[in-house]
Structure 1
Amino acid sequence: MAVSARRGQPLTLEEIYMTTLRLVDAGGVEGLSMRKLAAELDVNPMSLYHHVRNKEALVRETCAVVAARLRLPADDGTPWQDQLRALGHAYRSLARSHPSLWSYVNGHPDLSRQENALWAVFNRILTAAGIPAEDLVRTRRVLYSFVSGFLTAETSGLLVELEGTVDADSAFEVALDLIVAGLEARHSAVAGPPPELPSR
């Protein structure tokens, strides 16, 4: 583990990733550089390369650390509707806490695809909602795009610019209501009408 003469103590991956996140929150991924990170950590820039290969790997690993902190709903028998709402709120909380990083990930599908735990929980909830296995990926992508569109408008201020004063919390609840209602309606359509009772 590299030790800086100025710091007098070794760097840790946790320190590197959390400092990276703070810099990205302040100036975006585009404003991040290995040199800026090194200055913030008070180390020689070359010391960072003992821990991370390059800026791309640094951002990727920082994304993984943030994603791992996502509070995903447990598989505890709670109705799928409630689990879906909890998942939506957890994802929105991440986007609002780190809008610059979230926006970057949202624009780089290869990064968003690495959130395996998120997709596994999403698939589980959609399965509980009655979505057939062959439709899981398509349905998940549509709903992800819908929610991401809302969050893009919210985090960029576009939601307010288009509609004037908007209660974003209430608007997000409406979005979740629409998703739940749509899935319930789709399940009913796939399942078909209940069988008729035999006449006496």
Structure 2
Amino acid sequence: MGTRGTGRGRRLGLTRQKVIAAAVTVIERDGLDAFSLRRLADELDVETMSLYNHVPNKEALLDGVAELLLAGIDLSAGGTGSWQDRVRANANAFRAAAKRHPRAFQLVLTRPPHAASALETIRCALSGLSGVPLPPSELVHALRTYVAFVIGTIMRELGSAITVGVMDPDQVRHRVEEITATGDPLLAAVAPHLAVSDHDAEFRYGLETLIAGLATRTGLPYDGGVMDGGGVADSGGSL
């Protein structure tokens, strides 16, 4: 396997940035569970020990992947318009980045943030709420509620996309029958909707509910964003 002093990685121009970028590629292709430093070394055509010239261990490498993806989120659109438009823009930018890297982005959602990029993301979210008349303590509550919704909804969407995939009509019909067969009238009434998930519509609905609630709480007018769905239902599995 070689020793720490091997120069092959240096001869190939290997850098920390290249190692982390390659890790994103491997994770997206093979999944997080299958990821290893040995597999990454094979991707880069170097000996495994060469990687330790750039990252101290696997955990530090995964932190680097999270930092890279977080820093790559384009939050520029969240700096213009009304506070409601800014909140929407930031949330949609975060979700768009997650959908571009559905496997690797789980690291952003699940690992404690340490990098400057994490603070910049928080600053942008706070900037989106500027103009909302809340004291700092309640502003942090609003921020954390917003973050919890965005992260939780995206984790559910990414998890279902990876583990379940799109259900065909027969699967949906079978799921509706299963729900209806419980005999519970509350479940039966919503069975056709509970059996599928329209991730676009659900993200929109949840985000607009948060914005409308915050507007009501602070006595600000709500601009009436779109809360209903449209689009094609993607399984994501049922609830």
User: Could you tell me which residue of structure 1 aligns to residue 35 of structure 2?
Assistant: 32
Cα deviation code 1:11-49 (max 9, x no counterpart)? 123321111001111233332211111111000111111
SS at match of 1:131: coil
Residues 71-80 or 151-160, more deviating: 151-160
Q: In the alignment, is the contact (CA less than 8 A) between 2:66 and 2:107 conserved in 1?
A: no
Q: Which amino acid aligns with 1:54?
A: N
CA distance, structure 2, for counterparts of residue 139 and residue 57 of structure 1: 31
Q: Which amino acid aligns with 2:219?
A: S
Given candidates 209, 213, 217, the residue that maps to 1:178 is: 209
Cα deviation code 1:130-173 (max 9, x no counterpart)? 23212222221111112222222222228988823433222222
CA distance, structure 2, for counterparts of residue 76 and residue 126 of structure 1: 10
CA distance, structure 1, for counterparts of residue 95 and residue 206 of structure 2: 12
SS at match of 1:144: helix
User: Could you tell me which residue of structure 1 aligns to residue 187 of structure 2?
Assistant: none
CA distance, structure 1, for counterparts of residue 197 and residue 115 of structure 2: 28
CA distance, structure 2, for counterparts of residue 89 and residue 121 of structure 1: 13
SS at match of 1:100: coil
Cα deviation code 1:112-140 (max 9, x no counterpart)? 99611110011122232223212222221
- Compute the displacement of 1:64 (Å): 1.1
Given candidates 65, 83, 96, the residue that maps to 2:86 is: 83
CA distance, structure 2, for counterparts of residue 56 and residue 9 of structure 1: 24
User: Could you tell me which residue of structure 1 aligns to residue 121 of structure 2?
Assistant: 118
- Give the count of matched residue pairs: 188
- Compute the displacement of 1:71 (Å): 0.7
User: CA, structure 1 residues 131+79, in 2 after alignment: closer, same or farther (shift >3 Å)?
Assistant: same
When normalised by structure 1's length, the TM-score is: 0.80
Q: In the alignment, is the contact (CA less than 8 A) between 1:20 and 1:37 conserved in 2?
A: yes
SS at match of 1:173: helix
User: Could you tell me which residue of structure 2 aligns to residue 4 of structure 1?
Assistant: 8
Q: Which amino acid aligns with 1:72?
A: L
SS at match of 1:127: coil
Q: Kindly indicate whether residue 95 of structure 2 is the aligned counterpart of residue 96 of structure 1.
A: no
User: CA, structure 1 residues 104+77, in 2 after alignment: closer, same or farther (shift >3 Å)?
Assistant: closer
Q: In the alignment, is the contact (CA less than 8 A) between 2:16 and 2:54 conserved in 1?
A: yes
Structure 1: runs of 5+ lacking an equivalent:
190-200
When normalised by structure 2's length, the TM-score is: 0.68
Q: Kindly indicate whether residue 199 of structure 2 is the aligned counterpart of residue 168 of structure 1.
A: yes
Q: In the alignment, is the contact (CA less than 8 A) between 1:35 and 1:45 conserved in 2?
A: yes
Structure 2: runs of 5+ lacking an equivalent:
1-5, 168-174, 176-192, 221-239
SS at match of 2:129: helix
User: Could you tell me which residue of structure 1 aligns to residue 225 of structure 2?
Assistant: none
Instruction: List 4+ stretches of structure 1 deviating above 6 A.
Output: 158-162
